[in-house]
C-alpha cells in the first residue's frame, strides 16, 4: 500500500508541503558580483567556443572536470592545476572547466550543490545558490572559463552571466522547456543524444533552439514574465552513448553528419563525451575512448569540434558515509567515477597532439573540406562571385591586338551562398570553338555583344536592333502559279 498522505478536501496544493521564499537573482548578483576579470574570462570563452563550433578556429574544445562539484575548495584546487595545463596547450586545445552544480537522477539521489549544499538532505537551496555563485566567480576570476548543465529553467538567471558553455542532458534534450531555454541563452549550448543512444532528439533539439520562442519564465527580479527569445545558432550535438551501445566510432560520427545534413544543419557541430555510456560506465575506459577519438582527428576528421571528460584529482567515486559529509575523502567524486589527474594530463596531451597532426595533414594534402567549385576559364578572378563580364583566353598571334577581347554575357551568373556552386551558367564559346546560332540569338536580344576575331573572321562590333534587321529583310511576295485555269466565273 502507498504511504503517501491522503488527499484532503481542497482543490490546490493537496500534495505540496509548503513554500519557502527564494532569493531574487538580481539580489544574489548584487551580493556576489562578478569582477571585471570574471566578465572578461566569460566573454573570451564564449567567443572562442563559438569560433570552434563554426570551424573558424581549428583547435579542439575540451570540457574537462569533475562529474559534479560537492566541495568548492577542492574545485578551486583542481582549477589551478587545470589552468597551468590550459596555458601550456592553448595553441592546440581550448580547455573549459566542467563545473556542474546540478545532477539529473534516474530515480532519486543527491541532486547537486545547489539543491543540497550540505549533503545532508536539508535542501538549503538559497545557501546552495550563494555558494555556487561565489564558486563560479572565483573560478572565472582566475582566468578559467567554465561549463555547466542547464537542468531547470530558473537557476540560469542566477548563474548564466558566469558561464561560457552549456549542455542539455540526455534526459531533458527532448523537453520543450529546455529547447526554449536554449534558444535564449547567451552562450553555446550542446544537446546530448537520448538515453537509448538515438540521435533524432538531439538533432531536432538543435533545430528547435535555433528558432524564436515565446514562453513563460522568470526575470532577474524574480517575477514571472513572458520571455521572448531570438534563437541560438551556437548549438551542437553531444554523443554520449546509450543503452544500445557506444557512438564514438567513425561510423557513428558519419551518421551524425548525415542526420544533420538531412535537417539542413551544419555538419561540424559535434562533441564526444568519453565518459557515461561511451565508456560503459567504467572510468578506466575513458583513456581508451580518448585514444580512438584522437585517431579519428589525426586522420583528418574535422566534424569533431570537442571532447567531454569526467576528471578529478583522484580516480573513482565514493558514497557519502554514515558519519556524514565530513568523512568524505578529498578529491574523489560522489556521483559518477572520474579518471585521476595524472590520466587527465595524458589524455589532454594526446588530444593536443592529434590536432597538430591534423594540421600537418591539411598543410600537406590541403583542406579536408569539399573542394571549391570549378571556375570556368573565361571568368577572371575578379568575377568569380556573380560575374556579368568575362575574358577570353589568350588569342593566337594572328588575331589583331586592337581587338577589345571583351564579352558581356547576356545572362549573368550567381553563386549559391550555401553550396558555393555557380548557378545559371551560360556556356560561352572559346576562341577555337564555333559560335552556335543559339548564342547569337541570345546576344541579339541583349544587343550588347562585342568580341574578337574568330578564325580570322571579324565579328560584328554591334548587333543591329531587331527592328532594323526586320526592316532590312527582303519582302517575300506570294507565289503566283502560271497556266492554272480559274474555276467558276459567270455564264
The strand pairing partners of 245, in sequence order, are 242
Cα 334 to Cα 252: distance, rounded to the nearest angstrom: 31
Does any domain span residue 5? no
287 and 348 inside one domain? yes
Measure the CA–CA gap between 337 and 314, rounded to whole angstroms.
Answer: 10
Residues 185, 232 contacting (CB under 8 angstroms): yes
Are residues 407 and 311 part of one domain? no
Q: Which of 150-154, 169-173, 247-251, 405-409 has the lowest mean pLDDT?
A: 405-409
Q: What is the pLDDT of residue 309?
A: 95
Q: Whole-angstrom distance between the N-terminal and C-terminal Cα of the chain?
A: 124
Same domain, yes or no, for 313 and 408?
no
Judged by average pLDDT, the poorest of 64-68, 140-144, 148-152, 367-371 is 367-371
The answer to which of 231-235, 428-432, 480-484 has the lowest mean pLDDT is 428-432
Find the angle CA(128)-CA(132)-CA(135) to the nearest 5 degrees: 145
Residue 465 within any structural domain of the chain: yes
Is 71 in the same domain as 195? yes
Residues 136 and 258 in one domain: yes
State residue 420's pLDDT score: 54
Residue 40 lies in a domain: yes
Domain region containing 75: 25-318+329-365
At 375, is the pLDDT very low, low, confident or very high (cuts 50, 70, 90)?
very low
In this prediction, residues 236-240 reach a mean pLDDT of: 93
Higher pLDDT: 152 or 456? It is 152
Residue 199 CA to residue 293 CA, distance in Å, equals 19
Determine the length of the chain: 491
At 130, give phi and psi (nearest 5°): -65, -45
Q: Does pLDDT of 96 surpass 70?
A: yes
Angle between helices 250-262 and 200-209 in degrees, nearest 10: 40
Which segment, 204-208, 365-369, 406-410, is predicted with the most confidence on average? 204-208
Helices and strands, counts by H and E, the chain: 12, 14
- The verdict on 135 and 237 lying in the same domain is yes
Residue pair 351/60 in contact (Cβ under 8 Å)? The answer is yes
Strands (E), 31-135: 60-65, 93-98
Residue 207 has a pLDDT of: 94
Task: Specify the pLDDT at position 279.
Answer: 77
Within-domain flag for 481: no
pLDDT digits (tens, 9 = 90+) for 360-371: 988 877 544 434
Among 141-145, 161-165, 234-238, 378-382, name the one with the lowest average pLDDT: 378-382
pLDDT at 163 over 90: yes
6 lies in a domain?
no
Express each pLDDT in 112-141 by its tens digit: 999 999 999 999 999 999 999 999 999 999
What mean pLDDT do residues 37-55 have? 96
Is the pLDDT assigned to residue 166 strictly greater than 80?
yes
Total domains in the chain come to 2
Q: Are residues 350 and 376 in the same domain?
A: no
Q: What is the mean pLDDT of residues 231-259?
A: 90
Report residue 35's pLDDT band, with 50, 70 and 90 as the boundaries: very high
Q: Which of 234, 215, 211, 236 is nearest to 226 (CA)?
A: 215
Is the domain of 310 the same as that of 249? yes
Q: Angle at CA 138, nearest 5°, toward 134 and 143?
A: 150
Q: Is residue 394 part of a domain?
A: yes
| Joined grid coordinates for residue 172 | 531533458
Query: How many other CB atoms are found less than 10 A from the CB of residue 341?
Result: 18
3-state helix, strand, coil in the chain (%, to 5): 35, 15, 50
- 191-195, 199-203, 469-473: least confidently modelled range: 469-473
Residues 91 and 191 reside in one and the same domain = yes
Q: Which of 196-200, 238-242, 389-393 has the lowest mean pLDDT?
A: 389-393
Co-location of 348 and 466 in the same domain = no
Residue 486 lies in a domain: no
Q: Which three cell numbers stand for residue 240?
A: 554520449
Going by the DSSP 8-state scheme, the letter that residue 27 receives in this structure is: H
Are 293 and 375 in the same domain? no
Residue 303 lies in a domain: yes
Across all residues in the chain, what is the average pLDDT?
Answer: 81
CATH of the domain at 104: 3.20.20.70
For the segment 278-306, what is each residue's pLDDT rounded down to a tens digit? Answer: 777 788 899 999 999 999 999 988 889 99
- E-assigned strands of 46-179? 60-65, 93-98, 146-149, 165-168
CA 55, CA 461: separation in Å to the nearest integer? 50
Domain co-membership, 427 together with 347: no
* pLDDT higher at 211 or 268: 211
CA-closest candidate to residue 156, choices 75, 101, 226: 101
Confidence of residue 10 (pLDDT cuts 50, 70, 90): confident
Residue 312, Cβ neighbours under 10 Å: how many? 25
Nearest to 155 by CA among 210, 200, 201, 111: 111
Say how many CA atoms lie within 13 Å of 77 toward its Cβ. Answer: 11
Tell me which DSSP letter residue 216 carries.
E
Amino acid at each position: 500500500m502507498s504511504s503517501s498522505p491522503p488527499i484532503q478536501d481542497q482543490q490546490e496544493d493537496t500534495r505540496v508541503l509548503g513554500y519557502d521564499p527564494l532569493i531574487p537573482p538580481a539580489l544574489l548578483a548584487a551580493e556576489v558580483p562578478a569582477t571585471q576579470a570574471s566578465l572578461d574570462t566569460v566573454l573570451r570563452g564564449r567567443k572562442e567556443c563559438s569560433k570552434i563550433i563554426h570551424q573558424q578556429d581549428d583547435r579542439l574544445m575540451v570540457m574537462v572536470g569533475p562529474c559534479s562539484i560537492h566541495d568548492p575548495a577542492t574545485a578551486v584546487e583542481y582549477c589551478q592545476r587545470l589552468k597551468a595545463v590550459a596555458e601550456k596547450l592553448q595553441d592546440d586545445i581550448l580547455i573549459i572547466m566542467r563545473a556542474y552544480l546540478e545532477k539529473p537522477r534516474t530515480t532519486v539521489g543527491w541532486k547537486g550543490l545547489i539543491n543540497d549544499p550540505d549533503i545532508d538532505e536539508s535542501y538549503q537551496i538559497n545557501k546552495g545558490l550563494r555558494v555556487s555563485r561565489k564558486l563560479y566567480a572565483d573560478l572565472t576570476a582566475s582566468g578559467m572559463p567554465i561549463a555547466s548543465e542547464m537542468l531547470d529553467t530558473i537557476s540560469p538567471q542566477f548563474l548564466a552571466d558566469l558561464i561560457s558553455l552549456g549542455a542539455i542532458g540526455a534526459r531533458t534534450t527532448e523537453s520543450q522547456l529546455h529547447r526554449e531555454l536554449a534558444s535564449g541563452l547567451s552562450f553555446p549550448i550542446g544537446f546530448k543524444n537520448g538515453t537509448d543512444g538515438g540521435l533524432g532528439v538531439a538533432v531536432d533539439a538543435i533545430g528547435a533552439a535555433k528558432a524564436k520562442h515565446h514562453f513563460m519564465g522568470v526575470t532577474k527580479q524574480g517575477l514571472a514574465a513572458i520571455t521572448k527569445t531570438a534563437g541560438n545558432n551556437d548549438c551542437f550535438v553531444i554523443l554520449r552513448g546509450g543503452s544500445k551501445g557506444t557512438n564514438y566510432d567513425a561510423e557513428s560520427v558519419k551518421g551524425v553528419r548525415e542526420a544533420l545534413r538531412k535537417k539542413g544543419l551544419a555538419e561540424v557541430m559535434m562533441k564526444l563525451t568519453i565518459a557515461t555510456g561511451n565508456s560503459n560506465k567504467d572510468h578506466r575506459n575513458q583513456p581508451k575512448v580518448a585514444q580512438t577519438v584522437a585517431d579519428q582527428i589525426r586522420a583528418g576528421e574535422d566534424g569533431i569540434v570537442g571532447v567531454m571528460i569526467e576528471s578529478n584529482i583522484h580516480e573513482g567515486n565514493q558514497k557519502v558515509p554514515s558519519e556524514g559529509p565530513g568523512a568524505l575523502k578529498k578529491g574523489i567524486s560522489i556521483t559518477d567515477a572520474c579518471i585521476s589527474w595524472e590520466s587527465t594530463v595524458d589524455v589532454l596531451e594526446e588530444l593536443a597532439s592529434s590536432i597538430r597532426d591534423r594540421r600537418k595533414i591539411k598543410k600537406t594534402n590541403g583542406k579536408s573540406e569539399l573542394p571549391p567549385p570549378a571556375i570556368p576559364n573565361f571568368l577572371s578572378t575578379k568575377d568569380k562571385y556573380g560575374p556579368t563580364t568575362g575574358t577570353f583566353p589568350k588569342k593566337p598571334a594572328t588575331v589583331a591586338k586592337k581587338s577589345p577581347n571583351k564579352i558581356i554575357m547576356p545572362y549573368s551568373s550567381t553563386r549559391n551562398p550555401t553550396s558555393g556552386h555557380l548557378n545559371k551558367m551560360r556556356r560561352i564559346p572559346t576562341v577555337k570553338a564555333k559560335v552556335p546560332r543559339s548564342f547569337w540569338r541570345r546576344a541579339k536580344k541583349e544587343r550588347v555583344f562585342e568580341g574578337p576575331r574568330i578564325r580570322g573572321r571579324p565579328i560584328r562590333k554591334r548587333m543591329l536592333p531587331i527592328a532594323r534587321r526586320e526592316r532590312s529583310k527582303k519582302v517575300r511576295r506570294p507565289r503566283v502559279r502560271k497556266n492554272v485555269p480559274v474555276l467558276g466565273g459567270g455564264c
